[in-house]
Amino acid sequence: MQPTGHLRGDAVRVGGDARQRFYDARGYGRPLDGNEIALSRVEAAHLLFRGDLSGIELGDDADPVNFERFFVASAAAADRFAVRFLVYSDLRDRGFYLSPAREPWPGGSDAPSDAVDFVAYERGQTPDTGKVEYPIQVVGERESVAAAGLAGRTLAVVDEESDITYFAAEAGGVEGATGYEPPVDLTGVLLADRVVVWDAPEGFYERGFYGRPLTGRAADVEGALQLSLVEAASLAADGRLELTASIGDGEGLAGDAAARIVARGRDVEGERFDRRLAVYARLRAADAVPKTGFKFGADFRTYLDVETVEDLPHSEHLVRVVGPDHEFSPRELSLDVRLAGGVRKEMVFALTGIGDGHPADGGTSTDADVEWLSVDRLTP
């Protein structure tokens, strides 16, 4: 006959040979005095669902209830119980031992954040001996997920039909190997939403992959190159680009080139321009080549090792720029990651707070702090 559990507070106590049967052999719960153990509600529900418990008493004088009644009572008493139970059961079925990521359960000391619901140990390892394989944060598809601090966690998203999608979130930047140093004597004309360099030097586009040439089958103009505002602002901030004219600007050429290009960027794009400029500058400083990611719904796509545009490698990343307080909707996150995987790229989010307020001195914001977050689909 299977043992009966007794709900005490937010834990279910089981006596008899429970320690040997459930904790020592299968990693459920936490040991108490003697052979008694305490189970979290999710652990107890899973054992009840499997038939390893005969029932659970909800009060001192109450008769033991079955899985259905305990599940409903727990869903009413515990936050997100239903989705946490689904993820717990799924990972148990995949062969993982798990612990609740809170004290006094064994996983409490292994949890990297209060947002983590469970820690899953390496397959075949118990909470006593195992190394944490996945710190699991469980969310429903209609919840939001803070981008800050997500690195190092495994996100388990439960959709409206109770299917589970897992995402691995990791920290780390983008490092390239493009050895090109742009010239320091560029001049250009600032237009409404781009800069034209009329006499771009050899290699500027071909080796540095800056801008896009003004070309065509019948073209009789050589060396003309269009730069995006973010490319131009970064070059100007480094002292490599000056303006000879500024179209649609009633102030002539007052002020340095970098400040004027940034001001135009803010006019056409708002404060988001500052964020993108900061991330662009960081990518270039890391010897990666960022180009627009518009076709993929991202801010940038990146090339890590460009030797020549004629022999351009496959771009490796899609980069989307967000603020440090950004919150993902799981649907948005899934779309970004799925699209990146479909075009054989890694999805990277760049978190920077520079766009939350323009620099008081009108600066260009190219040295802002950036936190990198890589997210990919995961099959545990």
For residue 358, indicate whether it is catalytic: no
What distance in Å separates the CA atoms of residue 156 and residue 14, rounded to the nearest whole number? 29
Adjacent-strand bridge partners of 11? 8, 40
Give the span between the Cα atoms of 314 and 306, in whole angstroms. 10
Residue type, 48: L
Tell me if 67 sits within 8 A of 45, measured CB to CB.
yes
Q: Which amino acid is at 75?
A: A
Is-cis flag, bond preceding 104, omega within 30?
Answer: yes
> Within its chain, how far is the Cα of 51 from the centroid?
38
Question: Which DSSP string corresponds to 238-298?
Answer: TT-EEEEEETT-TTTT-S-HHHHHHHHHHHHHTTHHHHHHHHHHHHHHTT-EEEE-GGGTS
Annotated catalytic residue within 6, 314, 317, 358: 314
Alpha helices in 65-186 (DSSP H): 67-77, 81-93
Instruction: Name the catalytic one among 303, 317, 326, 358.
Output: 303
The residue count for the chain: 380
Pair of tokens at residue 254: 């007052």
Is 131 part of the annotated catalytic residue set? no
Determine whether 303 is an active site residue.
Answer: yes
Q: Are 364 and 259 in contact (CB under 8 A)?
A: yes
Helix (H) or strand (E) holding 26: helix 25-26
Cite the active site residues.
303, 314, 345
